[in-house]
Structure 1
């Protein structure tokens, strides 16, 4: 992989990682999958596959596994963990040590789970073939820079900048730039109505009860969220125990 491609690729990746982490910290978005916006999708459109060349494109195909989506990106979870440690007085050093142990255990457990499910369900139709089908298209039909895609990126950048300026200058401005960023995420098909209802409820509380009422009611709504997770976990445990499909949450 060419040096300039490596620098641009991981520069875009870490910029997205930082944006996703800030999105969670500032907005508290429940989802941020952001499918197909990574550097492996962006660079061929900006520079064209002819300029990148077969070698760089082939390496990009092998980097698909951590760029397909960002719903499970570790940075937001790590930041939230350190925030919880700060609020509860837990040592950051101990938390970091626990995270390192969890990473090692989780890595081996994930490999085992992947192979186990693959042998049971079959892996032929899973996502592993997608980057190589895309690579085949790149190699057989070399392309120049995608001008409409570049224009769309610039428009998105301008809209995001406008929303950021309005949010900083106008206290009452209701639209968050992070909300615009995640509006096209696949998971918003599942969550959009819940987010709409919660936004309306929050607006009513702030409108008629003020900030003090909003802060007093936060534990109640956090309890609703926690209760949904508990009930969903119970249904999952029942389904695993009885080997029968049960009521599913989210997916």
Structure 2
């Protein structure tokens, strides 16, 4: 995942240099009028948010280096998920490990210390479920890409996103608390209400009672995965005919994602291959509305049975994800 993010940053090096020049010096030759916000606002906003999060963590008891590394790694994980979302179309991706797991493997229990481990446990809600906070950036970027396709002013869309996020958070908190207290969290969703909130504290107890050293074996596998990703990226850029994408390699071992999606992905790839092989690009484009209709139908049925469940107080269709 880290190699996916870093390779993307390297390939966008020229553009990122223009972004930094525009943010720092208001470079007149850099045009950001078609972006969701000026480059300076984006860079300053990221730095302010990073400063706030690091300051919050320091006030909670962490040492200076730990929260800085944590949130930089969190940014890289979010960037890699965004690239997987854009290039592979996977709506939900579970990474092979969390930021906490990676830092534990690199530093070990004694190096990080009990205070850092305790505060990082509170951040499990950000990293433990990649359909949550980490999916915000991929979803927003996808929305901006759709807005660009239909020629909606992205800067007006930013206001809509901010308003929708504010209203959505308020309604989600109210709906979640009301539903959990009315029906019982363990009945509705055992993972989100029982197992996930307890997971970081079970891990913390294990780390403190059974201290761990640096996981050299695990780091070797991390390094090997990074090198393979870099190699696939190089081959993908060097040879047009190269069939294997680094994003596919990264997504191949992403926990429940491939376990749930493997047949759908296999079926989609097979049908796409058959359409291109026997009918050519024209036939492939002719079939696109049909497959988009299948996706729309799944969303429609998920919403319909959700409304039915609310009206009848009966369990309805579990809409993935």
The correspondence for 1:154, drawn from 220, 223, 228, is: 223
Alignment of 1:112-131 (within 5 A): 112-119=174-181, 120-122=183-185, 125-131=194-200
Note the 1:126-205 alignment, pairs <5 A.
Answer: 126-185=195-254, 186-205=256-275
CA drift of 1:70 comes to 1.6
Alpha-carbon shift at residue 122 of structure 1 (Å): 4.2
Gaps of 5+ in 2: 1-61, 187-192
Query: Aligned to 1:217, which of 273, 277, 287?
Result: 287
Contact 2:309 2:315 survives alignment (8 Å):
yes
Shift of 1:66: 0.7
* TM-score, normalised via structure 1 length: 0.91
Match of 1:103 in 2: 165
Once superposed, what is the RMSD of the aligned Cα atoms? Answer: 2.0
In 1: Cα distance, 2:76 partner to 2:238 partner: 25
Is 2:296 the partner of 1:235? no
Q: Deviations over 1:59-115 (max 9, x none)?
A: 100111110022231011111111111111222222111111111112212221232
Judged with a 3 Å threshold, the aligned counterparts in structure 2 of structure 1 residues 208 and 171 are, in CA distance, closer, same or farther, namely farther
| Distance (whole Å) between structure 1 residues aligned to residue 281 and residue 185 of structure 2 | 53
1:184-208 deviation digits (Å, cap 9, x = unpaired): 2313222110110000111122222
Give the deviation of 1:4 after TM superposition.
Answer: 1.5
Equivalent-residue separation in structure 2 for 1:245 and 1:56 (angstroms) = 41
- Could you report, residue by residue, the CA deviation over 1:157-212 in whole angstroms, capped at 9, with x for unpaired residues? 12222222232233333322212222223132221101100001111222223334
SS in 1 for 2:105: helix
Q: TM-score, normalised by structure 2?
A: 0.72
The alignment of Structure 1 onto Structure 2 pairs a total of residues equal to 250
